[in-house]
Amino acid sequence: MVACVVAIVALVLVGWLLSTVDSGRGVARWDQTLADWGSTHATSRSTGIWKAVTRLGSALVLIPVMSIVAWTDWRRRRDVLAIWFLAVVGVGESLLNNVLKMLVGRDRPPVAHLVDAGGSSFPSGHSAAAASCWLAIALVARRWSPRSAWMVVVAVGVACMVALSRTMLGVHWLTDVLAGLIVGWSWCLLWAIVLGIVPATDPAVKIRDPAGG
């Protein structure tokens, strides 16, 4: 039940963002302003910083980090739950986001693109990947210590910074990155509830290892 609520809320929010894009109202009123600001005020130093930040939402960073976390969790707990969870979040988010991009087909901002970017603009792939994967990493890692809840806060902060970097680099609208964050966080939370990584009011469907771990 909780997982269904998460999915419904995500659909409503993404749909609302799309409606603001079509109408040019709401959050979409800031799309052009933010895109212009990032392009106009870019310097070599600021661009270098934003490029470093945006890499935190790339597969070249996320895949190795998620692999290390999965291996570490296996060594500590000897069950496959975290491995399945991280794999489903990482692969599923990418597939879901690409499907949404094809369905929406939005053009990228007509400003200077300070990094290479291809494909459609809505939702932001880097933002969705950062939101889902860093939160998944934090949820797995926090199982190792009851005092590690701060990791979730850090994960949310990293995702927000990656989202901001995509607008500052001129490759996404504000509504693109907001949609990416919603898609990423919702996808991660949905599977965290279903697989029992976080508690839910309904019994979680858990994947256990053959030895009964």
Residues in the chain: 213
Instruction: Please say if 172 is a catalytic residue.
Output: yes
Of 101, 126, 142, 166, catalytic: 126
| Burial label, 115 (beta-carbon count in 10 A; 0-12, 13-18, 19+) | middle
For residue 22, the 8-state DSSP code is H
Of 172, 174, 180, 187, catalytic: 172
| Burial label, 150 (beta-carbon count in 10 A; 0-12, 13-18, 19+) | exposed
Q: How many other CB atoms are there within 10 angstroms of residue 80's CB atom? A: 18
Q: Compute the 3-state secondary structure of the chain and give helix, strand, coil in percent, each to the nearest 5.
A: 70, 0, 30
Instruction: Please say if 41 is a catalytic residue.
Output: no
How far is 24 from 106, CA to CA, in rounded Å? 14
Inter-CA distances, 85 with 5, 46, 95, 166, 170, Å: 19, 36, 15, 27, 33
* Catalytic residue numbers, as ranges: 126, 172
